Amino acid sequence: MKRKILFAYALLSMVSVLALIGVSCVPALETRDCVVMLGDSIFDLSDAETGYLEELSGHQYRTYYLNGAQMDGGTIQDIESQYDSAIRAGAIRTIIMDGGGNDYLMGNGSEEEIAEEVRQAYARILNKAQEDGVQNIVVQGYYLTDNSPDGYAESAAALGAGLEAAGASRGIKLVYVNPVADAWFSSRRPSQYTISDGIHPTDAASERLAQLVWNAMVANGIEQGAGCPSSGGCN
């Protein structure tokens, strides 16, 4: 009986050691605190896209996005204010962001007036980013929904071109990710990639958005090398 007890104890100890070894072999994600994510509920409702982006990159980023956030104003901390909070917390090398959808859904004024407010908010963020030494900005656009206005695809392409030019004029590498132009989205109806509210992405759509963002980062050499100075320069 004593021998059986000792054998059982030894076996249990071995299992515990193996379990600890298994845990210790899982690499921890590197925190890149000079990379921040700003935006609205496309990111924040489920955090799914952020999770997929972490898997693809092997990094964790600082996140400031909020459900209901507008580019300008509103009752939730707007995206310009998110930037202000992020830069107060530490230096920024790269921004990953979206923004503008809630301004159209909840803003006051004509479509033209709202578009101008959104444009000005982006310009203010770009000006601050230039002053603060931000090197890269990845702007994720919105996919089509059943409520998208006529001509949205053309407007999204024009917005992207305008933002990229505005970034270049300030010495910032700005890349616009346009889901409307992606075959995965264009081959599906909005009801197939949005949840029941017809606005927010399904898990599969969040995974695809993360892939598009990461592909853009890889193609443009954004956050592909050394880590942030404050995190020890890890790769």
Q: How many residues does the chain have?
A: 235
Any idea what DSSP says for residue 189?
A: -
Is there a contact between 190 and 145 (Cβ–Cβ < 8 Å)? yes
| Other residues' Cβ atoms within 10 Å of the Cβ of residue 8 | 10
The predicted structure's pLDDT at residue 123: 97
**3 part of a folded domain:** no
pLDDT in tens, 185-230: 999 999 999 999 999 999 999 999 999 999 999 999 999 988 887 6
User: Is 215 domain-assigned?
Assistant: yes
Which residue segment(s) compose the domain that 73 sits in? 29-225
Q: Which of 226, 199, 220, 75 is nearest to 142 (CA)?
A: 199
- How many domains are contained in the chain? 1
Q: Give the pLDDT confidence score for residue 86 in this predicted structure.
A: 98
Asked if 114 contacts 72 with a C-beta cutoff of 8 angstroms, the reply is no
Helices 111-131, 79-89: inter-axial angle, 10-degree rounding? 10
| CA–CA dist 211, 57 (Å, integer) | 10
Q: How far apart are CA 66 and CA 43, in angstroms?
A: 8
Distance between CA atoms of residues 122 and 136, nearest Å? 14
Q: Is 143 within a domain? A: yes
- Type of residue at 93: R
Q: Kindly state whether residue 188 falls inside one of the protein's structural domains.
A: yes
* Beta strands across the sheet bearing 136-140: 59-63, 30-38, 94-97, 136-140, 173-177
Write down the pLDDT at residue 14. Answer: 40
pLDDT tens track of the chain, all 235 residues? 544 444 444 444 444 433 444 444 555 788 999 999 999 999 999 999 999 999 999 999 999 999 999 998 999 999 999 999 999 999 999 999 999 999 988 877 888 888 899 999 999 999 999 999 999 999 999 999 998 988 889 989 999 999 999 999 999 999 999 999 999 999 999 999 999 999 999 999 999 999 999 999 999 999 998 888 764 443 3
77 occurs within a structural domain: yes
CATH number, position 101: 3.40.50.1110
pLDDT at 114: 87
On whether residue 184 sits in a domain, the answer given is yes
Report the pLDDT value the prediction gives residue 109, as an integer from 0 to 100.
Answer: 84
Residue 126 within any structural domain of the chain? yes
Tokens representing residue 95 in the block: 């921004």
Contacts of 219 (CB under 8 A, 6+ apart): none
- Rounded to whole angstroms, the Cα distance separating 66 from 86 reads 13
- Let me know if residue 131 belongs to a domain: yes
Structure tokens at 59: 């990094």
Q: What's the confidence (pLDDT) of residue 26? A: 52
The residues that bridge with 95 in the sheet, in sequence order, are 36, 137
